[in-house]
Chain A
Amino acid sequence: MFQNMQVLDASIALAKNAGRRQAASAQNLANADTPGYKALRVSTFQASFDSASGQQIKTTRSQHTGRAAPFAFQDQIVNRTSADPNGNAVNLEEEMMEAAQAKSDHTKALSIIQSSLKILRLSLGKS
């Protein structure tokens, strides 16, 4: 059962990543008309998951639970060449798309957490 906690770990990390991406898009959108502003990007959950899953602690017995390395996210400043004449590099449509993706990822993560909690609660004998 406790191996299952990794599900919670991963989904919490996904929810966090979605939150960060949402905040980054909000910042980009607010600065959509600021001269010289460079768009901010947060690396996707997929990228950080791929880099974290390689660093998992090895276990010698199947009963031991290996803790996955914490998922790390970095902000990246996007340097786009096709900037506006005022040096702004925000693309409104791209940001809306990014925000929609963050929202769907967040909903996904919250659903996983909710159903995991339900299973845990059920296994504790509560309905």
Chain B
Amino acid sequence: MNDFSNAIKVTASGLHAQATRLRHLSENIANADTPGYQRKTVAFEAVRAGTGEPTTVSTGPVLLDPTDGERIFEPGHPLADESGFYEGSNVNLLIEMADSREAQRTYEANLKMFEQTKEMSRGLYDLLRR
């Protein structure tokens, strides 16, 4: 029985981590046209609680991608410098979409695992019923 509660705990941590990642990805996508915006990235970290405890997952600190943003030529823009360029965001929509696909896939796998664990423990309880 302890295994099932461990599994549910671990799965819940996975769901939470993927949801956090998806939130940062949608922030990046929403700010794809914001001048000077740096895309946010989160790394996953394995949390080892001790022997007998499951290794849960959590998101690490939010980091900013230091690469330079796209230089856009628009002399009439209020942020444009003397050469007529201004710096856009460094968000690459393709990367964000691919990342969110991966997050979705893992999220769904975790959700399926959650349901399956629930079903298994329900089967165990059904033994007590006559």
Contacts and interface: CB of A to CB of B under 8 A. Distances in A.
A30 B55 CA distance: 9
Nearest to B55: A27
B113 A26 contact: yes
A26 B43 contact: no
B3 A22 contact: yes
Tell me the dominant secondary structure on chain B's binding face.
Answer: helix
Interface of A is mostly: helix
A117 to B, nearest CB: 8
Contacts of A95: 109
Interface stretch (B8-16, B33-41, B68-76): B8-16
A100 to B, nearest CB: 8
Interface string A28-65: 01111111110010000000000000000000000000
A22 B5 CA distance: 11
Interface of B: 1, 3-4, 6-8, 10-11, 13-14, 17-18, 21, 43-46, 54-57, 102-103, 105-106, 109-110, 112-113, 116-117, 119-120, 123-124, 126-127
Which 5 interchain pairs have the tightest Cβ spacing?
A30-B14, A26-B7, A19-B3, A23-B7, A23-B3
